[in-house]
Structure formats: C-alpha cells, structure tokens
Chains A and B, each alone.
Chain A
Amino acid sequence: MPIPAQALRHEYLRHNKKFPHVWCPGCGNGIVMGALLRAVSRLEIDKDEIVLASGIGCSGRMPTYLDFNTLHTTHGRALTFATGVKLANPSMNVIAIMGDGDSTAIGGNHFIHAARRNLNLTAIIINNSIYGMTGGQYSPTTPFGSKSTTSVYGHIEHAFSIAELAVTAGASFVARATVYHADLIDRLIEQAINKRGFAVVEVISNCHIQYGRRNKLGGAVDMLTSFKEQAVSVSRAEKMSHEELEGKTTIGVLADREIPISTEEYKKVREQARAQKEKV
C-alpha cells in the first residue's frame, strides 16, 4: 500500500521551518528524502527516537526540513557526531545522510572507520559525482575524463566506488540504488535501519545542473533514464563478465553479514570494568 505523499509531508516535514528548500528543481535529493520518510513510516519508528545527522553540501540540508532530532554538522564529520550520539544513547535510531565528497573526500577517514567499528548506525550516501553546492568541482566519485569546474580539460583521477569501499571496510550491510529506482531505495533504507550493525545505502543521484550540463548528459529526466539503462541487479551482475559490467551500476544488496556490534560489545566491557572495580 503506497503511503499518500500528503500524509508523509504532514507527518514528517517541519511546519515551522522557513521553506522553500535549497535544492534545484529535479534534484535527486528529494527522491531520497521521500524514500527515507516512507521507510521510517513503514517501520513505524517514533520521531523522537530518530537522530538524523548530516554533513555539509546539498545533502547536508536535509535534516533541517525533517521533524526528527536533527544535527547539521561540519563537512565530512556527520559520522563522528553520530558516533557520539549513538554511544551516549544507544536506544536511538541514528541515521547519517551524506554526499559523495562529504563522505569519501573530507570524511573518507571517518567513513571507513565507522564501517570498521561497526556501530549500529545507518549511513545514506547520495552520490551525484560532483560538489554541487560549491559550483561543480570534481569529487572522489567524478568519473575519469568528466568535466567539472576544476577539471575543464577532463578529469585525470579515478572514481571511488563507495559501496564497494564500504564492503571492504567491513560494514555489516551495504546496498546501492539509483534515484530512478525509488521503490528500491525505500526497501534498502528500511533494511538498513533494521540491520543491526553499520549499514550503508549508496544512492546514485543526478546533479543535472552542475554535472549533467557540463558533461552533456541532458536534464534530470535524461539522467534518470540513463541510470535505468546503466543499472544491473546484483543477481544479474553475478552472471555477467567483467567486460559486460563496464559502465554499469550494480544495484541491490551487496553485503549483508553478521559482525559483532561495538555498542553490544561495549556492554561486556562495562561488565568487566565493574567486576574489576569491585575486586579492588
């Protein structure tokens, strides 16, 4: 049963916030925000029990609009603040929303360590391959050869694959979707929030203004259509050769594994420390 958009808006958007939002018409951020709200609504999580943390950039503005406990941190640092929130109050559902530059350039160190540490956190990364807010400079996910305001001659570096990076760094759950696949984002965010452990959802998104235009990829609709064409499900990708997968985006669940969660493990540390203290 789809949830009426109006009901979601009334329930989750801040009534006292000075709208309009900062996002350009056609921006993928709104799709991800909608998916997040649908996931939260389906899971019936109390708004008081959600902390939504973000970094800096277009994605960083999302918490401002939403009626949760919201935390708009410094550039790249959302996961560090989220770590403090979660450890101080493990009963909270802590979700970090980040961009590609935010999470893998300036926040790259925090990202891999959050994955390694495996707190019970959810990280949603909107990857639009560019620094949109600052005017279209290349990011760690800008494809080789692409044009940006700081690579007008074509980009000479290679892009990170964020989801694969998260898998290697040790995250419990890693998934990827594109903004074309809105239903899939809903489901993946739901799974990620439910997952006990560090869960990452990477969403490939369009910045037709700062990235698409410069690289002749058309408008928002054209970019979404190309996401549809490039997407390959995990199960199909498994049957494809390396060459066939060139230029494709694997979507679905890339990793789902049970790894001891550090918030749980810390309970044992406390027990040991208390026992030690009583002995002294």
Chain B
Amino acid sequence: MSDKAKQRYLLQGNEAIVQGALAAGCRFFAGYPITPASEIAEQLSITLPAVDGTFIQMEDEIASMGAIIGASLSGVKAMTATSGPGFSLMQENLGFACVAEVPCVVVNVMRGGPSTGLPTCPAQGDVQMARWGTHGDHPIVVLSVSTVMDSFTITVKAFNIAEKYRVPVILLSDEVVAHTRECVELPDAEEIKVVDRITPSVPPEWYKPYEGDARGVPPMAAFGDGYRHHVTGLIHDEMGYPTQRPSEVKAFHERLTKKITRGFPDIQMTRGYYLDDAEVFVVAYGAVARSALRAVEDARENGVKAGLLQLITLFPFPRRALTPLLDQCRAVLVPEMNLGQISREVQRVNNGECVVAKHNRIDGKFITPRELFDRLMKL
C-alpha cells in the first residue's frame, strides 16, 4: 500500500452507494424516481455513461427490475435503487431474478410505510419484506448499511455476493444513512476486491445452463456469447427448460437453497463491539446501530457491561454470530424503526435463557442514543 494521503470525500450515503457500485463494476442502472433514493439515479445518470455504462429511467419500478435482469443476462453488472413503494413493485421481477439466478443488486432506501407512508422520514419497515416480499420459497441475501463508508464497502460486497452466488442481493439503507454527509476515504481501485461471475468453461454444446458447480452455482453465459440457452421464470431442469417432474422440481429448490447455506461463512457479516465480557448486548442494524454504539459506550462508562452486535447481513439471518452471545448475556435489546422485524428473528434463535427486549419507534423519528442508554441501564 502506498503512503500517499488518500483522497477524502464529503459524501452522503446515497452518493457512496454510487461510488461503491462503480467500484464493483456496475455498468447498468435502471430506475424510477423516488424519495429518498433519487440521488442514486441522478448521480449514476452522470457517471455511468462516462465509463461506457448505461443509465435508463424506466416507466416504473416493475420495468426497472426487468431491465436490470435483462442487462445482467447480457453479462453486465446491474443495479436499481428505490424506496418502499417502488420496492413493492419490484417484488414480481425480483422473484424472477431468484428463480432464474440472475445476479443483480436492488437498493431500498427505506422510508416510513406502509403505502406512500412517510416519504421523507426514516424507517426500517421493509426488513421482512426484503426477505419474503416476492412469492414462493426462495433464498435471498439482504444486507444493511449504517454509515456512509458502509454504503461504499457493503455495496461492493453486495455485488460480489450477487456475482459469486448468482443471486439478487437486497441492500437496505434508510433515510438517515442516505442523506447524512460524512467524510470518507475511499480505497484505491487495486485495494478493492471485485468478484465476477463464473462463465462456462465447456464448449457451447456441452453447456447445461442450470447445472450447479461444486458450490451449487451454475456458470453463467451471457446472451450473445455463443452459448444459446433458455431463461425462464418457470421451474426448470438443468437445461433451463420448464419441468413439473417432482424429482427435478425438488432438486432445483434444494440447489437454490443449498448454494446460499454453503456460503454462510462468506455471506453472513456482523460487527462486534465490546462483546467479550458483555452481560447485556444490543442487536442493531442500519442507522440505529450508530445510536446503539454510542449508548453502549455510555452504558460502559456507567458501569454496565454492554456490547453491540451490528448486523450487516440481515438474511440469511446470522444465527451463528448470535447464539453464543445469547448464551453469554442475560439480556439483549433489539432497537428498530419498526414494530419488531429483526427482534422476532432474535427470538427465533434464542434458546430461552436470554431476555429479549424490544425498542421500537414508528413515529418517523430516529432512535437516539439517549433512549437506548436509558433502556440499557434498566435491562
């Protein structure tokens, strides 16, 4: 690494997502205007064409999701960005990306809901929707960001996971992170690990487009590469053709799930703070993790052995990081800007020894360090 001082930037979360996407190799964006995500589209409409990429504003979010899938099938890394109402519209084609195993990144800058809700207020109400929003059983990866720097690094990671496992990755930001400006030092291009999808190594006549490799991930040919193949939203066999044969349907679903299960150590990301000797701890994600960290530090100063487990990956739920702490601590506090969407996951993996306390705000206001400190002192 060079000693030269890194370039420092004053960026908001949405801008850092743009920089992260470009660094990860994203060269296609399709989207539809929506608060509080619009800056991502605006910036990419300027930056993408300068790097031979493509920006397009579609007629709605259904179309945006369709377009990024089409681009990804043509071998280009693609992304869209939206907020709750648009994310609702994307669920249909998000399911297509799941079943046809199309790598792509979907950013949802969460705002208050349901429906038009609170367009300019922060919320974390779309967490379970990100997991289960599209119909049918499906594995999906959901990541969350809590700082401007995260917005850069986790966006790169989102693309890497999407490419490595051939899955859509949902990146959840929120109105606070999206519009907060922070000074960040962006890494140089050579310091950034960028993963590209694996392409077929066999000649076209041997290619089975949906035959998993050892990890369960099929090598992916792009349209136009000479590997003519069929892509469908129907459940399909290894050749990509529709099937209703129970053995093939079962094998298909199992492979989709197992490729993610096998990737748990790689996909499930958390950050621990002050956890070694913790007696109580907080599980937090997104902007709320920032308030939680301050509250934990204040609690420590006041004699409470508190810690924080920040979730970067929300789904697949990082159970392995959590269970030892649930055994170690007498209580866990789960603050969320919703009525308890991750706390139910925490309860699900708890073996009953640890008290699970919730702290919820749905009034469009951010959860402050002070209110979490007060809760921690009484746990």
Kindly state whether residue B371 has any CB partner on chain A within 8 Å: no
Does chain B have a CB within 8 A of A242? Answer: no
CB pair B49 A88 closer than 8 Å: no
Main secondary structure of the interface of A (DSSP, over half): helix
Within 8 A of B (CB), among A66-103: 67-74, 77, 80-89, 91-92
Contact B228 A71, beta carbon cutoff 8 Å? no
Of B56-64, B110-118, B290-298, B309-317, the one contacting chain A is: B56-64
Contact indicator B56/A83 (Cβ below 8 Å): yes
Residues of A within 8 A of B78 (CB): 84, 88
Identify which of residues 206-249 in chain B touch chain A, using a CB-to-CB cut-off of 8 Å. Answer: 222-226, 228-234, 239, 241-242
* B200 adjacent to chain A (CB < 8 Å): no
Do the beta carbons of B49 and A110 come within 8 Å of each other?
A: no
Q: How far is the CB of A263 from chain B (nearest CB, A)?
A: 9
Q: Would A274 and B50 count as touching, CB distance under 8 A?
A: yes
- How many angstroms between the C-alpha atoms of A16 and B204 in the bound complex? 13
Contact call A273/B49, Cβ cutoff below 8 A? yes
Whether A80 contacts B228 by the Cβ 8 Å rule is: no
| Stretch in A44-52, A208-216, A233-241 touching the partner | A44-52
In the complex, the number of residue pairs spanning A and B with C-beta atoms less than 8 Å apart equals 147
Nearest B residue to A112, CB-CB: B59
**Selected contact of A80 from candidates B28, B54, B63, B75, CB within 8 Å:** B63
Which residues in A have their C-beta under 8 angstroms from that of B30? 83-84
Known interface pairs A69-B229, A89-B223; A266-B63 also in contact (CB < 8 Å): no
Q: Does chain B have a CB within 8 A of A187?
A: no
Return chain A residues, CB-CB under 8 Å to B76.
Answer: 88-89
Given contacts A77-B93, A81-B69, A82-B70, contact A72 B239 (CB under 8 A): no
Please determine whether B228 and A87 come into contact, CB atoms closer than 8 angstroms. no
A71→B73 contact, CB < 8 A: yes
Assess whether A5 is interfacial by the CB under 8 Å rule.
Answer: no
With A and B bound together, what is the CA distance between A268 and B365 in angstroms?
A: 44
Given contacts A64-B241, A84-B69, A270-B49, contact A77 B62 (CB under 8 A): yes
From A16, A48, A83, A270, give the contact of B66 (CB < 8 A). Answer: A83
A269 interfacial contact with B, CB 8 Å: yes
Which A residues lie within 8 Å of B62 (CB)? 77, 80, 110
A272 to B48, CA, bound (A): 12
Of A14, A88, A113, the contact of B74 (CB 8 Å cutoff): A88
**Would you call B231 and A276 a contact (CB within 8 A)?**
no
Smallest CB–CB gap between A99 and chain B, Å?
16
Q: Is the CB of B230 within 8 A of A83?
A: no
Interface pair B68/A84, CB less than 8 Å apart = yes
What residues of chain A lie closer than 8 Å to B222, measured between beta carbons? 89
Q: Is B96 an interface residue (CB 8 A)?
A: yes
Closest-CB distance, A63 to chain B (whole angstroms): 7
Check if A226 is an interface residue, CB within 8 A of chain B: no
**Complex formed: what's the CA distance from A220 to B64 in Å?**
39
| Bound CA–CA A68/B224 (angstroms) | 9
For residue B28, which residue of chain A has the nearest CB? A88
Are B230 and A63 in contact (CB-based, < 8 A)?
yes
In the complex, whether B162 has a CB less than 8 A from a CB of chain A is no
A18-B241, A64-B242, A80-B58 are contacts. A48–B226 as well, Cβ < 8 Å? yes
Which residues of A, 1-24, contact B by the 8 Å Cβ criterion?
Answer: 14, 16-18
Query: Which residues of chain A have C-beta atoms less than 8 A from B231's C-beta?
Result: 70-72
A88 to B68, CA, bound (A): 9
When distances are taken between beta carbons in the complex, the residues of chain B under 8 Å from A82 are 70
Asked if residues B50 and A74 are in contact (CB atoms below 8 Å), the reply is: no
- Residue of B48, B66, B224 near A91 (CB, 8 A) is B224
Asked whether, in the complex, the Cβ of B73 is within 8 Å of the Cβ of A92, the reply is no
Check A85 against B233 for contact (C-beta < 8 Å): no
- Give which listed residue, B56, B92, B95, B228, contacts A47 with CB less than 8 A: B228
Residues on B with C-beta less than 8 A from A86 are 70
Contact between A74 and B96, CB atoms less than 8 A apart: yes
Q: Are A72 and B230 in contact (CB under 8 A)?
A: yes
* Contact status B232-A72, CB under 8 Å: yes
* Inter-chain contact A88/B70, CB cutoff 8 Å: yes
Among A64, A70, A81, find the residue whose CB has the most chain B CB atoms closer than 10 A: A81
Instruction: Determine if B67 is an interface residue (Cβ-Cβ < 8 Å).
Output: yes
Across-interface contacts of A68 in B (CB, < 8 A)? 228
Asked if B71 is at the interface of the complex by the 8 Å CB criterion, the answer is yes
The reply to whether B228 and A85 form a contact with Cβ atoms under 8 Å apart is no
Whether the pair A48, B233 counts as a contact (CB closer than 8 A) is: no
| B3 on the A face (CB < 8 A) | no
In the complex the two chains form, what is the Cα distance from A91 to B63 in whole Å?
22
Q: How far is the CA of A231 from the CA of B49 in the complex (A)?
A: 47
Known: A64-B241, A113-B59. A81 touches B66 (CB 8 A): yes
A87 to B28, CA, bound (A): 9
Determine if A266 and B49 form an interchain contact, defined as CB atoms under 8 angstroms apart: yes
Closest to B237 in A: A18
Question: B67 contacts which of A67, A84, A272 (Cβ < 8 Å)?
Answer: A84
Contacting residues of chain B (253-305) with chain A, CB-CB under 8 angstroms:
none
- Pick from A68, A69, A276 the residue with the most CB of B within 10 Å: A69
10 nearest interchain CB pairs?
A84-B70, A80-B66, A84-B67, A88-B74, A273-B49, A88-B71, A72-B232, A273-B50, A81-B70, A84-B71
Q: A72-B232, A270-B52 are in contact. List 14 more A-B contacts (CB 8 A).
A: A18-B241, A48-B225, A64-B232, A71-B232, A74-B92, A74-B93, A77-B63, A80-B62, A80-B65, A83-B58, A84-B70, A84-B74, A87-B67, A88-B74
